[in-house]
Structure 1
Amino acid sequence: MSFSTHFSHAITRRPAPSIIAGLRAVDTGSPDLALMQAHHAAYVATLQETGATVVELPALDAYPDSVFVEDTALCLPEGAVIMRPGAPSRLGEAAEMAPHLRALYGQVVEITGKDSFIEGGDILVTEREVLVGRSARTNAAGVAELARLVGPWGHKLREVHTPPGVLHFKTDCSLLDVDTVLSTTRLSASGCFEGYRVIPVADGEEAAANTIRFNDLVLMPAGFPKTRDTILAAGFNVREIGNSECAKLDGGMSCLSLRFTPKP
């Protein structure tokens, strides 16, 4: 069973009322909290439908972006790494996540360098390697520190680059199976997925690139029919989830959960 697409556990956090103050690259309007909560509930229910144990953490009003738990940690079978987010307002979110991961993992380590910044949204884990995209939120020091931490667990890290103007590496890509990546053309054109099968996102539907393969389902944001049909034609089971409100804060399917199967 693939550790990069099949999971026994997920951690999510409910959106807080303060979400209206969340970070965003472009202001397209404030999210509707009630609609975001409904979308989030559908997301959690879909993860649970696959048989996974889903830990739902309470809202953290002190941290407007805390619904986007993926940025706080990297979860591998052998252990978890607590990140050091590149957005100063989000540094406390990682500390809030740490005790929940320690309750589930025997090994939890942390990015601690004062000059290191790295967020989970820039990390794509495959069966072969851990791809980390340099971005405005992830710097060279953070990548180097992560490489030192995951190396003893047997994971090879490869640094790649997030396209200019794109928040996170995984804003533009996702893993569909052990050999297949869904990607925007602007990202795959860099050659970072050489050796993988690449399924292109339809032109004009770049926001559909951030999906998650969770057990036997591919969860993707609703509203991107061309990309949905391409994924279906490739033989995957697709579930569309409303994401209009998270998208106002540059959030997608992967941002909303930490997904893992800890080794005993």
Structure 2
Amino acid sequence: MRSYSFTHAIARRPAASIIRGLRAVDTGAPDLALMQAHHDSYVAALRGTGAEVTVLDALEAYPDSVFVEDTALCLPEGAILMRPGAPSRLGEAAEMEPHLAGLYSQMRRISGEDSFIEGGDILTTETEILVGRSARTNVAGIAELARLVADWDHVVREVHTPPGVLHFKTDCSLMDAETVLATDRLAVSGCFDGYKVIPVAPGEEAAANAIRFNGIVLFPAGFPRTRDQLADAGYTVHEIGNSECAKIDGGMSCLSLRFTPS
């Protein structure tokens, strides 16, 4: 259960500069007040499971810094600082480092000048770490991560993010040790062979980015057919508003680092 059962989480308040956040398609600027209200509900849901949740101050210099998941990979043995593939986000990992250093005895970092990797492309299961190659995560970044976790007995498997999709986890999320929620466009690649796949309902592809966090699934509001599929499968689904994060390509997993520190 180490891939979905956690004692800690870290989130960061959205900055006013988030209106300049990166996005594939401009559907309008996020409403900061509404985003903060959604964020508060998100943090409350995490805390409601009994986890210790740290909420960091906003970073105005980094418009996308609310999406803390991209800055690090947190494993039971230690934390690995990422090297984001978007130039405007390169400094975010350094901002996260002191907060993780206070919790982990082992800290490592992706450091190669040609290496880029973001946490949104990493799905950790009970048996392996799947890393999707994307516009934000390259071959060098994946290879460096594989070297850094080898002595912790973690196996990294490179997979491919569908064309036009920001991150691997935009299209999938782990529900339990054997089960993944995924879009058809991702599952058809065969990357989840050996897992049980719950398909996202047609037209609800944005519902694929959810989080199994302890006893609940944090799930973006507005996707009733996929929500009902998860409920029918026995999961406790907790819906959270995501309309504003979605305007800058964000989802449930992006908003936190989830871990049990060493």
Tell me, in whole angstroms, the C-alpha distance in 1 between the residues paired with 2:65 and 2:203: 29
Identity level (%): 76
Say whether residues 1:233 and 2:255 are aligned partners: no
Where do residues 208-219 of structure 1 align in structure 2 (5 Å cutoff)? 208-219=207-218
Tell me, in whole angstroms, the C-alpha distance in 1 between the residues paired with 2:72 and 2:86: 14
1:143 aligns with 142
Say whether residues 1:161 and 2:160 are aligned partners: yes
Where do residues 40-189 of structure 1 align in structure 2 (5 Å cutoff)? 40-189=39-188
Tell me, in whole angstroms, the C-alpha distance in 1 between the residues paired with 2:196 and 2:234: 14
Corresponding letter in the other structure for 2:19: I
By how many angstroms is 1:262 displaced? 1.4
Tell me, in whole angstroms, the C-alpha distance in 1 between the residues paired with 2:85 and 2:218: 27
* Aligned-partner SS, 2:98: helix
Corresponding letter in the other structure for 2:162: P
RMSD, aligned α-carbons: 0.3
By how many angstroms is 1:198 displaced? 0.2
Tell me, in whole angstroms, the C-alpha distance in 1 between the residues paired with 2:185 and 2:37: 32
Tell me, in whole angstroms, the C-alpha distance in 1 between the residues paired with 2:3 and 2:157: 16
Q: After TM superposition, what 4+ stretches of structure 1 lie above 6 angstroms from structure 2?
A: none
Tell me, in whole angstroms, the C-alpha distance in 2 between the residues paired with 1:55 and 1:171: 24
Deviation digits for residues 101-154 of structure 1 (CA, Å, limit 9, x no counterpart): 000000010000000000000000000100000000000000000000011111
Unaligned 5+ residue runs, structure 2?
A: none
Tell me, in whole angstroms, the C-alpha distance in 2 between the residues paired with 1:4 and 1:91: 26
2:34 aligns with 35
Tell me, in whole angstroms, the C-alpha distance in 1 between the residues paired with 2:189 and 2:232: 25
TM-score (normalizing by structure 1): 0.99
Tell me, in whole angstroms, the C-alpha distance in 2 between the residues paired with 1:108 and 1:154: 16
1:197 aligns with 196
Corresponding letter in the other structure for 1:262: P
Corresponding letter in the other structure for 1:154: D
Unaligned 5+ residue runs, structure 1?
A: none
Deviation digits for residues 31-86 of structure 1 (CA, Å, limit 9, x no counterpart): 00000000000000000000000010000000000000000000000000000000
Tell me, in whole angstroms, the C-alpha distance in 2 between the residues paired with 1:256 and 1:131: 19
How many aligned residue pairs are there?
A: 262
2:15 aligns with 16
Corresponding letter in the other structure for 2:53: V
